């Protein structure tokens, strides 16, 4: 000290300047205030947030003047007593009230500076801007609320549906169930302890799982008829549909399952099967007797006119016989009682014999057969395979009234043979190709031609029992090719 002045060195001066610079421009607000709240020091950062000039603040405003009304009250009732008692406060949420009436959320840390008698001299506060954090928190809250609203909406909608609706995770653990499903399964809540597959009839479980895995890998919807266990321990028929989706909130993969009750349809179908089975058996016996009487007539009467009418009657009886045989086959397939007698038989032989027989009956069409140069022998029930080929050729004839040719060909591949029957007739609309093989299905463009829609169903079942497949390629107005794929075991 000299002349009553403090003299400081250049370096000391520089250090002071740096400290001042840091104080003013730090990314946080600093201020000091007296026990009565009067602000005695404030940094530039805080002033810029408040949009105030230093002379408007120093010795004019109190600490609590910087906050919203709620903040003022909170400061008086909680923060100030704490500062007096414990000497500090940490991370207290406040809102700064700025000049332009905008509000800035901040966190306040404050410390009491005391004299040697433990009396508070002043307080120092650090103020951190948390606008971004608040914005993020608000956004999160908003998203959460939105997801909750969506969940509520989903629940409301699905609770109104008559179907069972559940969602599961990718393993099948239940995640959500609508009221109908909760009641059906007899559970009070959708809980992950429940595995959806446990409600599926054990014999259907494996197939459903298989289909599920398949649709998972191909990302296609699943559709399967299965029996599901109800609350009183009985299994009921459901058509189960499922689609995968990603949950927006968590990004988790989920499955939405909808179960449509088909018990009534199943009951009706089984009644129809029962009726078919009884009716076809009942029809068969009088027809056999009629045939026997017709044989007797032929044997005992040589009169030309009588023989002519008996032969005509015989033809009609044969048609009836074919129909009844088909009906019987359908009911046998339904009951899984169709018998097969497999033997190793030549494919050329099968085709040559069958087509020869068909040629003698066909008056309108020429049937061309292309056999294999090198014959192949496959395991087959020859009578049943004949039945399939007769059905395909007869269909070709029936549904190509304006053409006169049917082509039958055999192709040999390494592990299978393909027998194809082509016609040049009315063809099949592509929208109906997948329905052709369903029981009693008849295509809309062919309803004027008589038929019952049993032949292709029976044919497909027979081919499946041979471990094969039957496919069709068709174009309306151009014709159709039905191909039978049969496995060759070397």
What does the binding site for ligand ADP look like in residue numbers (CB under 6 A)?
391, 395-396, 399, 423, 425-428, 436, 441-443, 446, 451-457, 480
**Closer CB to ligand ADP, 108 or 367, in the complex:** 367
**Closer CB to ligand ADP, 259 or 425, in the complex:** 425
**Closer CB to ligand ADP, 46 or 324, in the complex:** 324
- Taking the C-alpha atoms of residue 31 and residue 43, their distance in angstroms, rounded to an integer, is 6
Look-up of token digits 């949950």: 247
**Closer CB to ligand ADP, 277 or 420, in the complex:** 420
Q: At its nearest, how many Å lie between ligand ADP and the CB of residue 387?
A: 12
- Taking the C-alpha atoms of residue 96 and residue 113, their distance in angstroms, rounded to an integer, is 23
Q: At its nearest, how many Å lie between ligand ADP and the CB of residue 244?
A: 34
Q: Within 10 A of 284 (CB to CB), how many other CB atoms are there?
A: 16
Q: At its nearest, how many Å lie between ligand ADP and the CB of residue 405?
A: 13
Q: At its nearest, how many Å lie between ligand ADP and the CB of residue 449?
A: 7
Q: At its nearest, how many Å lie between ligand ADP and the CB of residue 368?
A: 16
- Strands in 479-487's sheet, in edge-to-edge order, are 366-370, 405-412, 416-423, 479-487, 469-475
Decide: helix, strand or coil at residue 357: helix
**Closer CB to ligand ADP, 97 or 461, in the complex:** 461
**Phi, psi angle pair for 399, to nearest 5°:** -100, 25
Burial 72-91 (b: 16+ CB within 10 A, else e): bebbeeebbeebeeeeebee
**Closer CB to ligand ADP, 133 or 478, in the complex:** 478
Which DSSP category does 173 fall into? B
- Strand partners for 52: none
**Closer CB to ligand ADP, 436 or 486, in the complex:** 436
Q: At its nearest, how many Å lie between ligand ADP and the CB of residue 285?
A: 24
**Phi, psi angle pair for 228, to nearest 5°:** -115, 140
Q: At its nearest, how many Å lie between ligand ADP and the CB of residue 310?
A: 27
- Residue 313 structure tokens: 């009657």
Q: At its nearest, how many Å lie between ligand ADP and the CB of residue 465?
A: 17
CB-based contact 63:33 (threshold 8 Å): yes
C-alpha closest to that of 269 among 318, 330, 215? 330
- Taking the C-alpha atoms of residue 390 and residue 362, their distance in angstroms, rounded to an integer, is 11
CB-closest chain residue to ligand ADP: 451
**Closer CB to ligand ADP, 158 or 400, in the complex:** 400
**Phi, psi angle pair for 480, to nearest 5°:** -135, 150
């Amino acid at each position: 000290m000299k002349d009553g002045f403090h003299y400081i060195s250049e370096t000391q001066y520089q250090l002071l300047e740096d400290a001042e610079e840091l104080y003013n421009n730090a990314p946080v607000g600093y201020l000091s205030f007296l026990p009565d709240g009067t602000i005695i020091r404030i940094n530039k950062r805080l002033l810029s947030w408040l949009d105030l000039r230093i002379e408007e603040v120093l010795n004019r405003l109190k600490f609590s003047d910087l906050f919203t009304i709620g903040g003022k009250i909170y400061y008086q009732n909680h923060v100030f007593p704490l500062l007096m008692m414990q000497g500090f406060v940490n991370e207290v949420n406040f809102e700064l009230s700025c000049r332009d009436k905008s509000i800035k959320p901040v966190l306040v840390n404050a410390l009491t500076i005391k004299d040697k008698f433990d009396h508070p001299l002043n307080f120092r506060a650090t103020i951190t801007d948390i606008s971004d954090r608040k914005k993020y928190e608000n956004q999160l809250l908003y998203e959460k609320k939105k997801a909750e609203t969506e969940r509520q909406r989903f629940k409301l909608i699905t609770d109104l549906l008559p179907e069972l609706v559940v969602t599961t995770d990718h393993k099948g653990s239940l995640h959500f169930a609508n009221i109908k499903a909760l009641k059906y399964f007899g559970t009070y809540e959708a809980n992950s302890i429940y595995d959806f597959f446990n409600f599926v009839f054990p014999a259907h479980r494996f197939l459903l799982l298989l289909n599920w895995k398949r649709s998972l890998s191909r990302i296609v919807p699943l559709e399967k008829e299965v029996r599901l266990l109800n609350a009183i321990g009985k299994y009921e028929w459901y058509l189960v549909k499922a689609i995968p989706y990603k949950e927006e909130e968590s990004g988790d993969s989920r499955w939405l399952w909808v179960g449509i009750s088909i018990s009534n349809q199943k009951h009706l179908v089984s009644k129809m099967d029962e009726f078919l089975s009884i009716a076809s058996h009942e029809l068969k016996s009088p027809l056999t007797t009629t045939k026997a009487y017709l044989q007797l007539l032929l044997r005992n009467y040589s009169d030309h006119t009588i023989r002519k009418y008996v032969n005509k009657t015989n033809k009609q009886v044969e048609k009836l016989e074919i129909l009844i045989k088909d009906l019987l086959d359908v009911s046998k397939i339904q009951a899984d009682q169709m018998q097969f007698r497999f033997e190793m038989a030549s494919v050329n032989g099968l085709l040559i014999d069958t087509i020869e027989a068909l040629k003698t009956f066909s008056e309108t069409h020429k049937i061309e057969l292309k056999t294999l140069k090198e014959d192949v022998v496959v395991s087959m029930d020859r009578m049943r395979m004949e039945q399939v080929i007769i059905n395909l050729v007869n269909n070709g004839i029936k549904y190509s009234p304006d053409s006169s040719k049917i082509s039958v060909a055999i192709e040999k591949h390494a592990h299978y043979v393909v027998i194809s029957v082509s016609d040049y007739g009315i063809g099949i609309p592509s929208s109906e190709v997948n329905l052709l093989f369903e029981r009693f299905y008849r295509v809309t463009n062919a309803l004027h031609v008589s038929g019952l829609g049993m032949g292709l169903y029976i044919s497909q079942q027979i081919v499946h029992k041979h471990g094969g497949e039957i496919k069709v390629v068709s174009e309306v107005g151009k014709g159709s090719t039905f191909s039978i794929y049969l496995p060759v075991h070397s």
